[in-house]
């Protein structure tokens, strides 16, 4: 589009047009001064048609000069300025369009990144929750085991203490019984034999503990 209207005619063509134009201008003036067309112009003027062919020829010359001169002097710069401005505007619009597209791409990339990050965070939270759950289960199991172990140990210790106390009790009872018997019968019986006898008796008479 711009090439069509901005294409300047060659300087030789312009010069040729100007030379022809000047020639026609002078020729028109000369022919008019010589009344060359008088034989045609006077009958026309008599009929109310005031036509002067010298004017016509000269004006054609003027236009032949005017076209290239005005074009190169003003119209070409005007059209160049307008077209450059239009091109600049088109460039600005296309630049804005590409920036808009780039912004859209960035926005979609950003949204994708956000969604990826959210998914990753969700995944991590889920993993942490699962890990915590496992740990809790593990800790619960460990605690239960430790509890069982401690209960068993305590029961064992209780049993052991009980046995120990029972033994001590038995010994004490035997001693008390022997002491009491000794005081009752007033004589010293064979301690070893008596003890053994009492012991056997107590063991036979002992009520088994629950």
Partner 1 sequence: MLDLIFRGSFIASGAAAGGESHAADAGHHAVSYTGVMVYVGFVIAILIVCMVLAKKGLNNRFFKNKITASFEQLYYFIENLAVGIIGPHGRKYIPMLMVFWLMIFVSNLVSLFFDTAPTADLGFNLAMALMAIGYVQWEGIRANGVIGHFSHFAGPKLTGALIGINFLIFPIEIISEAMKNLSLTLRLYGNIHGGHQAVTAMNKLGEPWVPVGAFLLPVKLLTCVVQALIFCLLLCVYIGLVTHHEHEEGHAHDDDHGHEDHSATLEPEASPA
Give, as ranges, the residues between 37 and 66 that touch partner 1 (CB under 8 A). 38, 41-42, 45-46, 48-60, 62-63, 66
Give the integer Cα–Cα distance in Å for 156 and 164. Answer: 12
In the list 21, 28, 174, 198, the residue contacting partner 1 (rule: CB under 8 A) is: 28
Give the integer Cα–Cα distance in Å for 33 and 46. Answer: 20
| C-beta closer to partner 1: residue 89 or 150 | 89
Q: How many residues bind to partner 1 according to rule CB under 8 A?
A: 48
Residue 68 interacts with partner 1 (CB under 8 A): yes or no: yes
HEC per residue, 59-122: HHHHHHHHHHHHHHHHHHHHHHHHHHHHHHHHHHHHHHHHHHHHHHHHHHHHHHHHHHHHHHHH
Q: Tell which residue, 7, 11, 15, has the closest CA to residue 64.
A: 15
Q: Tell which residue, 27, 102, 88, has the closest CA to residue 62.
A: 27
| C-beta closer to partner 1: residue 60 or 177 | 60
| C-beta closer to partner 1: residue 48 or 186 | 48
**Nearest distance from C-beta of residue 59 to partner 1, angstroms:** 3
Residue 79 interacts with partner 1 (CB under 8 A): yes or no: yes
In 10 A of CB 9, how many CB atoms?
13
| C-beta closer to partner 1: residue 78 or 144 | 78
Give, as ranges, the residues between 88 and 117 that touch partner 1 (CB under 8 A). 88
Give the integer Cα–Cα distance in Å for 195 and 207. Answer: 19
Binding site for partner 1 (CB under 8 A): 1, 3-5, 7-9, 13, 28-29, 32-33, 38, 41-42, 45-46, 48-60, 62-63, 66-68, 70-71, 73-79, 81-82, 85, 88
């Amino acid at each position: 589009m711009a090439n069509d209207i901005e294409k300047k005619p060659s300087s030789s063509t312009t010069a040729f047009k100007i030379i022809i134009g000047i020639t026609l201008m002078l020729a028109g003036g000369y022919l008019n001064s010589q009344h060359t067309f008088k034989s045609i112009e006077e009958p026309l003027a008599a009929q109310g048609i005031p036509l002067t062919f010298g004017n016509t020829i000269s004006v054609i010359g003027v236009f032949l000069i005017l076209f290239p001169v005005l074009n190169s002097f003003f119209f070409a710069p005007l059209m160049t300025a307008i077209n450059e401005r239009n091109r600049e505007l088109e460039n600005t619009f296309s630049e804005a369009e590409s920036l808009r597209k780039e912004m859209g791409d960035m926005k979609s990339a950003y949204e994708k990144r956000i969604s990826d990050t959210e998914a990753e965070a969700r995944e991590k939270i889920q993993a942490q929750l699962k890990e915590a759950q496992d740990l809790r289960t593990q800790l619960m199991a460990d605690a239960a085991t430790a509890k069982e172990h401690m209960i068993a140990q305590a029961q064992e210790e209780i049993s052991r203490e009980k046995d120990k106390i029972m033994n001590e009790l038995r010994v004490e009872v035997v001693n008390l019984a022997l002491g009491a018997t000794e005081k009752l019968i007033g004589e010293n019986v064979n301690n070893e034999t008596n003890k053994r006898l009492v012991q056997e008796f107590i063991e036979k008479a002992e009520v088994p503990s629950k």
